[in-house]
Structure 1
Amino acid sequence: MGRGDLTNAEWVRLEPHLPTSGRRGGRWNDHRKVINGILFRVRTGIPWRDLPERFGSWKIVYERHRRWSADGTWDRILCAVQADDLAGRIDWSMASVDLTSCRARQHAVGARKKKPRVPKKGTTPRHHRPDEGLGRSRGGLTCKIHLAGEGGCRPMAFLLTPGQWGDAPQMIEVLERIRVTRPQGGRPRTRPDHLGGDKAYISGRNRRYLRRRQIKHTIPEPKDQRANRQRRGSKGGRPTGFDSETYKRRNEVERTINRLKNSRAVATRYDKRAYVFHGTVTLAAIRLWLR
């Protein structure tokens, strides 16, 4: 077992959730070696062609990662691993939202505008985006990862957007993606008890959404909004509640982002297609849940 490969304990947790048959009904060959090859590339960020020979053909490793990114296999595995952990360590008492920017390398641009290759004829990859999740910002071409993390510093759900997109409009969609299946059956759990975020998420739309779902929140009010509310007097409404001690827990999502970006293929985007990069981030999240 090489450094960074799946341990025996991690493999025992992961193996039951892997698909047993391929596209044409045949069995997949040696899942563990191929997944270790994908993890090696995610951790190091090397070109696929430079994978060490111990992982086998680089084409097989890349194609399986691309295929599982396209049909949502990585997403289903992440949900399954989260469900296994529901009765144990998931901290629902406090979730936090934040984002991080990933600089796009020169190899990540220039994707063809025609319909990309897909695992089944006539279908579209699960997370395909016409803009490929790339946008212009001060740093050049970047991609943003909007993330919701639980108290144990593990990602619950995330969303990819181009680099110039704002923070607040994405909060609701990120929270809507939280769906953790209950081992005993019933509806998946989708709502944390409390939500933390920085002042970028304090829009009225977000506050109304949180009140409707009965999610308590600790989000600071910007100075300009506070001054405008005070200027309007009684028509400005009541001040938003804020607990500075609870707000200190917002560092949990920042630590989650740091753990994700320990993988060089997440910290810097090398993938041309948005759905392939989404699969790369999902696999990095799966590894955090397996540890």
Structure 2
Amino acid sequence: MNNTKPLASVCVYGGYSSTIHPVENSSVKSEMIPPIKVAVNNLSKYCSELTHIMIPVSATRESIDIDKICKKNSKELTGKDQSAIAARHNCHNQLIARNRSATPIFDGVPRMQIGSGDIDQPGYEAAKKNFINDLAEYVMLSLKSNTGNCLEKALVATIMFRLAFEKYLINHGFSKHEIDNANIRIAILTNNAAGGDHSVGSVKMTIGGVDEEFLIDPLMDGSVVEKSDIRQFYSKNESKYCSDKTAVFNDTHVFSEFINDSDFLELIKPRLEEMHRVDFDHFNPEAIIKQLHRVT
């Protein structure tokens, strides 16, 4: 792969990918785009689009699409159409609710008990182990049922990126020193504090002393959005969950902490590899896509 050119798309969905901007700091302004930034964008796009295929059923995305159809179509939907849409939407909501009720990761009490600030508290290790097991099970339930909203999709895509990125970059010609210097880190973000209701993955890196960031948003057709394009993207793709006014994202610390935890990664990696025959040491999106289409 040419590490100097952004990837357009690997899947039928297309999705949005920002124009990759040159890195600029206070002393240097360059039109050259660092190859490692392009490679990280490409891998982010792969993971976002793959997740969009792996989890095609989403009540949230259906709601967004229905709103768009209603706005564009001057004719009102018939009662029969409305009933069919409502039945389908309720069915998908029930699938997601079932997955969420099967694991207690959304219970505020256990989540508060396992924050890194509680590491010296009695019961921390047991609470951490339970949460890691529940989080892994929740991710797998979403994949097994092919069902999830923005959070489920963001978790899967960001976890795949986390498992793949180091070997992927090495396999594409980058040295361990270059990768370490980029200080690549991931997180799960939400815009709830800004009045929205949307979750995305975040990939940050540092290049020449400048912090760069891509948002991974599988819900929006497997999109990847560079930080400087966030408001523009969510203005063009406005919904009741996120708009240019609510596109202010903050870290969801518990999820971010544990998708980077070595115990969690050791637990989830073989499960993902077995389910979709993903080789994270030799990450090949085209092969994964072929396998997904063969299964479906």
Q: TM-score, normalised by structure 2?
A: 0.25
Q: Which has the larger radius of gyration?
A: 1
The structure in which a higher percent of residues are helix is: 2
